[in-house]
Amino acid sequence: ETSKPGNFITQIIDKDNESGKNAGVVTTRFPPEPNGYLHIGHAKSICLNFGLAQRYNGQCNLRFDDTNPEKESVEYIESIKRDVEWLGFSWKDDIKFASGYFDQLFDFAVQLIQAGKAYVCELNAEQMRDYRGTLKEPGKNSPYRDRTVEENMTIFMDMKNGKYKDGEAVLRAKIDMASPNINMRDPIIYRVRHVHHHQTGDKWCVYPMYDFTHCLSDAIEEVTHSVCTLEFQDHRPLYDWVLDTLKTFHPQQIEFARLNLNYTVTSKRKLKQLVDEKHVSSWDDPRMPTISGLRRRGYTALSIRNFCERIGVTKSDSVVDFGMLEHAIREDLDANANRAMVVLNPIKVTLTNYPEGKEEIFMVNNHPKNEAAGTREVPFGKELYIDAADFAEVPPRKWKRLTLEGAVRLRGGYVITCDEAIKDAHGEVVELRCRYDENTLGVNPEGYKPKGVIHWVSAKHAVDARVNLYDRLFNEEAPDANHEGKNFLDFINPESLTVLTNVKAEPSLVSSDKGQGFQFEREGYFCRDLVEEGIVFNRTVTLRDSWAK
Ligand code: ATP
Ligand code: MG
Ligand code: MG
């Protein structure tokens, strides 16, 4: 693992280890709030935190930061566990929950009160905002700031025991209302909330705030390096103040740049809105940038890990091109996915000189560059399907497919020449009558040269399939940015999904596994849908970069 390139965080850890800090132990954590499904941004944090633990033979905890029970659920917890494991990581200890520390956190709050470092404040939300001041103006001390320890203790216990309603009182750290850092202006550390919690049930009606919970959870777990995204830089003084004041184990908070991807939103709140308002079918809709959506789209865990490694870890925000993510999956599937022949828009071909009732079976390589991938049987007969796009009556210049009196090779089969295009009443070509050259199986024909190679399936043996052609979910490069009077929903691509229902696939695909990826010859990379029972394939990515168009 140390052979992998380092980054500014590994440099910090290397230095710590050289100086003997933490006795060389490295403990990290990945701390999602279970208020939605994980997205590709979280994958970066997972690869980073679990990757650091692997690199230094340390450990990475999976900890649910569950202090907002009304937005959280067990469904989200289960999905997050599944996604982290699917990405290829595992945690040593049991799963952690911030709610598992509620007793200790309450005791820490009491310690702060007893040290004169916290007080109960009964300003309402609006007054609280007024007193807090602004970036330019210092705040004012709350009239409740100088309550005695006894009074604070009595009320805090009453809050815990349900004698206060939501919003009637909060516990605040007593720091500095004039601090230039607004996070340090006596931040709230506990609030009253009469809600059921998915882990602790109805035991609590006071819940700790994120900034108080997070640093102390890190300290309780003796996390050595607490890696978070840049927006928490301004919270670091508070992180340090809580731990210094309570004299606990003191993890080092290190901030890195979050992943931003163009044409994508990576915010659980916005992704939830896409699901709730039915712009997509579910959290794991293959158009979603969620880990479960990418999985269902056909992304492999390896491709996502490779992507995260390539984008690197830095201290300055940037936007990564979606094409980089696609490159990672294309690269994996090109090397590792079997090939198959599937006709997306079928048109019938009859081989007029092929004996009636005759059938053959061709052995076709599963992978052109990897013999170990083996071969498969592909049946052949008098009637075939080819893609309508592979025939043109009036071909454009440099046409390499089928045309009247032209010849092409059927991949893995014979060379055929087209004699006649049969049309329906609207002038639409409905059938091609062709001749096959029986001396061309694996051999070049004599005296003429086929222009190209096309894919096909035997009409008699073909299986019906449904194919979902996915395109980008947003038409706008920065759907998330500030657009005059518009929000990200206004940029949804109305053509992000095209369903093809008349697809003819080679019969070997019937026995493919759910989730298995393929290159459909000349069409792109597809995977068998993970959820649907029928023969349903999702387009993972086109053969070549289509984002540059
Ligand atoms: P969101 O805004 O999508 O809800 P969040 O940061 O609130 O994201 P958490 O569940 O708190 O979501 O995230 C868990 C961890 O994942 C945090 O440490 C957070 O910093 C990290 N993370 C979240 N989004 C990204 C991102 N886009 N890039 C890198 N890391 C991220
Ligand atoms: Mg968060
Ligand atoms: Mg959030």
Mean pLDDT, rounded, for 274-301: 98
pTM over 0.90: yes
- pLDDT of 547 higher than 70: no
Rounded to the nearest whole angstrom, what is the distance from the C-alpha of residue 112 to the centroid of ligand 2? 25
User: Ligand 1, atom 26: nearest CA belongs to which residue?
Assistant: 41
Atom of ligand 1 nearest to the CA of 260: 27
* pLDDT tens track for 139-166: 999 999 999 999 999 999 999 999 999 9
Q: Please identify, by atom number, the ligand 1 atom nearest to the C-alpha of residue 258.
A: 28
Share of the chain above pLDDT 70, in %: 99
The 10s digit of each residue's pLDDT in 472-514 is 999 999 999 989 999 999 999 999 999 999 999 999 999 999 9
pLDDT category at 93 given cuts 50, 70, 90 is confident
Average pLDDT over residues 416-424: 97
- Closest ligand to 311 CA? 1
Q: How far is Cα 128 from Cα 380, in angstroms, rounded to an integer?
A: 78
Best residue among 40, 42, 258, 262 to mutate for probing ligand 1, ranked by most atoms within 8 Å of CB: 42
Residue written as tokens 């984008």? 311
Give the pLDDT of residue 545: 82
- pLDDT of residue 71 exceeding 80, the answer is yes
Query: Mean pLDDT of all residues in the chain?
Result: 97
Pocket test for ligand 1, best of 37, 72, 76, 229 (most atoms within 8 A of CB): 229
Q: What residues contact residue 497 under an 8 Å CB cut-off, 6+ apart?
A: 287, 468, 469, 470, 471
- Over residues 167-171, the mean pLDDT reads 98
pLDDT attached to residue 3? 73
Cα 74–chain centre separation? 19
Give yes or no for residue 2 having a pLDDT over 60.
Answer: no
233 CA distance to ligand 1 middle (Å) = 14
**Quick one: which ligand is closest to 30's CA?**
1
Q: Which residues contact 27 (CB under 8 A, 6 or more apart)?
A: 53, 58, 59, 60, 61, 221, 222, 223, 224, 225
C-alpha–C-alpha distance, residues 247 and 237, integer Å: 15
In one letter, which amino acid is 375? T
| Residue 372: predicted pLDDT | 97
Starting from the CA of residue 45, give the closest ligand.
1
| Positions marked active-site | 33, 258, 268
> ipTM > 0.95?
yes
Domains in the chain, CATH or no CATH each: 16-256 (3.40.50.620), 261-338+465-541 (1.10.1160.10), 346-455 (2.40.240.10)
C-alpha of residue 350 to centroid of ligand 2, in Å: 61
Protein residues with C-beta less than 5 angstroms from the ion ligand 2: 33
The pLDDT tens digits of the residues spanning 188-207 come to 999 999 999 999 999 999 99
pLDDT band per the 50, 70, 90 thresholds, residue 549:
very low
Q: pLDDT of 325-355, one tens digit each?
A: 999 999 999 999 999 999 999 999 999 999 9
Q: Given pLDDT bands bounded at 50, 70 and 90, which one contains residue 213? A: very high
